[in-house]
Amino acid sequence: MFFASLRIRLNLLIALILVGGFLATNIISYQVSKGTLRTSILDHELPLSSNNVYSEIQRDLLQPIFVSSQMATNSFLRDWVLEGEREPERMTRYLLGIRDKYNAFTSYFISAKTNRYYHFTGPSRVVSESDPADGWFFRARDLKEPYEVNVDTNVEQGSTITIFINYRVLDYGGNFIGIAGVGLGLDSVGKTIAAYQKSFRRSIYFIEDNGQIRLHSNDVSKGADNIHALEGIGSLADELLSKERGSYTYERGGETFLLTTRYLPELKWHLLIELSERQATAGLRRSFLYNIGIGTVVIIITMLLIGYTIGLFQARLEEMATTDKLTGLGNRQVFESGMRQAMARYRRTQEPFSLIMIDLDNFKRINDTHGHVVGDRVIKKFADLAGGLVRETDIICRWGGEEFVILAPACTRDDALLLAEKIRTAAGQAIFVAANPEYRLTLSAGITQAEDRDSEDTVLVRADKALYQAKEKGRNCCVVD
C-alpha cells in the first residue's frame, strides 16, 4: 500500500509538472510566436503586399505610357500641328480612334502654339498660364523627361479623378509643340485594391501628401476623407507622410493594427496597407486553445509516446548526419551508401549507371568579391536549381565546398551528358548574385559510366579525371570519360 500511495503521489507530481510545464510552454510559445508573426508581417508580408499592389499599378500604367509615346511621335499629329491645326475635326477623329482602339478612359492633345485643348469629344477649351488648374501643362512643357504621370481632375469628363500620361510632343527639329496623352480611370486601380482586399484581407489606402484619402478598400474611414481624422492612424499621419517607407502599429477601437507605407512617385501618393493583428493571429489563438484543450489527453499518453519520441529524435539525428546543412542535399555518407548500392545492383543486373562530378568555376572570386555569406547563398541556390532538374531516382550530393556529385541509376553516359548540359545551361541563365545581376555562374562537369571491371573508387577517379579535363579545356563545359 505504501508503494501504491507513493506511485500515486509520484504520478500526481509528474502530472502537475507536466501540466505546469505544458501550460507555461504554450503560453510562452504563443507570446513568442505572436511577436515573431508581428515582426514577419511588418517586415515581410505587408511590404510584399505593397510591392504587389505597386507592381499591378505599374503594369496598368505600361500600356497608357506606350500609347502616349506613340501619339507623341505620330507623324499625322505632328504634321497637323505644323500645318496650322486646320480642320480640328481631324484631330477629334484621331483622338477618338486612340481612345477606342486602346480602351482608354480619355485621350487628348494640347497645342503649345494655340494653347487649345483637343479632346476626343472635340476642341474643349484654351489653357491659360494664369489658371492654377492648367498649371500642369506649363509644368510638363518645361520637363526634361519625355513624360510625366499626373493625377488630376478630368474637367472634360465630369471632373472625375484620372491618372494622366502627359507626353511631350516635339517637332522634327526637336522643338516642343504640345502635350499628348491618354488617361487611366481610377476604377481600374480600385479593382486592383478590391481584389487584394478580398484575397489577402488587407485594407489598402491611397493617400495624398496632405493626408487626403483618394482611394481605400473598405469603410474604416467612416466618412473621414483625411487620415489625420482617423483614429489610430491620425496620430502617426505626419510621420508616415514624411517618409518614403515605414512600418507602424497603433490602436483603433481597442484593437491593434499593423501598417506598412510606401511612396508611389508615379502618382505622388502614399500607399498604405493595414492588417488587424487580431485577424492575423487568429490561427495562432486557435492553435493555442486547441493545445490547451488536448493537454490532458497529451499528458495521459505522454509516457506511451516516449519511445516514439525517442524514435523521432533518432530519425532526426540520422537525417542531420546524412544531410548537408547548407544545401539540404545529401552528404558524402549518403553518396557512399548510394554508390555501394549502385555497384551491387550493376553487378547483379548489368543496369548501367553514370556519375557526374560538378565544380563551380572560379568560385573563390565570389567569396573574395561579395563575401562568404553571398557565396553560401550561391551554393544554396545552385543546389536548389540542380536538385530541381535531376530525376527522383537520381542522388545529388554536395561533395565539398563548391563541388557536387550526381549518381544517376539506369542512365548511360550520353544521357548523363544531356543532364549535365541542362544543369550547366540553366545555371548560366540564372541570377545568383542580386547585387550583380550581370554575373553568370559557370560550371565544369566530368561524366563517366560504370564498367564491368569498375570498383567504387575507379568510377570516382574517372569522373574526377573528366572534371579535371573540363577545367583544362577552359571551364564552363562538360567532358565525358
- Tally of CB atoms within 10 A around 6: 10
Burial class of residue 68 in the structure, from the number of CB atoms within 10 Å of its CB (0-12 exposed, 13-18 middle, 19+ buried): buried
User: Are β-strands 106-111 and 160-170 bridged in parallel, bridged antiparallel, or unpaired?
Assistant: unpaired
Q: Supply φ then ψ for residue 226, to 5 degrees.
A: -145, 135
What pLDDT score does 32 carry? 80
Q: CA-CA distance, 151 to 262, in Å (whole number)?
A: 17
Nearest to 34, CA basis, from 245, 261, 247, 287: 287
Q: CA-CA distance, 79 to 75, in Å (whole number)?
A: 6
201-280 with 323-480: one CATH topology?
no
Distance from the Cα of residue 334 to its chain's centroid: 34
CB 128 within 8 A of CB 140: no
Residue with cell 544554396: 380
> Which element (helix H / strand E) includes 203?
strand 203-207
Q: CA-CA distance, 133 to 249, in Å (whole number)?
A: 38
What pLDDT score does 197 carry? 66
> Which element (helix H / strand E) includes 20?
helix 2-40
CATH no. of 201-280: 3.30.450.20
Cell output for 225: 476623407
Adjacency order of strands within the sheet including 269-276: 213-216, 203-207, 269-276, 255-264, 245-252
Q: What is the pLDDT of residues 47-81, one digit of tens each?
A: 887 787 777 777 777 788 899 999 999 999 999 99
User: Are β-strands 403-409 and 353-360 bridged in parallel, bridged antiparallel, or unpaired?
Assistant: antiparallel
What pLDDT score does 315 carry? 55
Task: Give the up-direction half-sphere exposure of residue 407: CA atoms within 13 A in the CB hemisphere.
Answer: 22
77 contacts: CB under 8 Å, gap ≥ 6 = 71, 91, 94, 109, 169, 180
Nearest to 261, CA basis, from 221, 204, 190: 204
Cell output for 260: 506598412
Residue 182 forms beta bridges with which residues? 107
Backbone angle region of 50, left / alpha / beta, with phi > 0 → left and psi within -120 to 50 → alpha: alpha
- Residues of the chain where predicted confidence (pLDDT) is lower than 70: 1-8, 10-11, 186-201, 217-224, 299, 303-319, 321
Q: CA-CA distance, 236 to 251, in Å (whole number)?
A: 11
What pLDDT score does 7 carry? 57
Burial letters 276-297, b for 16+ CB under 10 A, else e:
bbeebbeebeeebeebeeeeee
Q: CA-CA distance, 155 to 178, in Å (whole number)?
A: 19
CB 108 within 8 A of CB 181: yes
417 contacts: CB under 8 Å, gap ≥ 6 = 447, 478, 480
CATH class entry, domain 323-480: alpha beta
Instruction: Break the chain into its structural domains and give their ranges.
Output: 201-280, 323-480
Backbone angle region of 353, left / alpha / beta, with phi > 0 → left and psi within -120 to 50 → alpha: beta
Nearest to 428, CA basis, from 416, 440, 410: 440
What pLDDT score does 277 carry? 81
Q: CA-CA distance, 466 to 478, in Å (whole number)?
A: 8
CB 413 within 8 A of CB 445: no
Q: What is the pLDDT of residues 179-226, one digit of tens each?
A: 999 988 766 666 666 666 666 667 888 888 888 887 776 655 555 688
Burial class of residue 129 in the structure, from the number of CB atoms within 10 Å of its CB (0-12 exposed, 13-18 middle, 19+ buried): exposed
> Which element (helix H / strand E) includes 300?
helix 295-322
Classified as helix, coil or strand, 441 is: coil
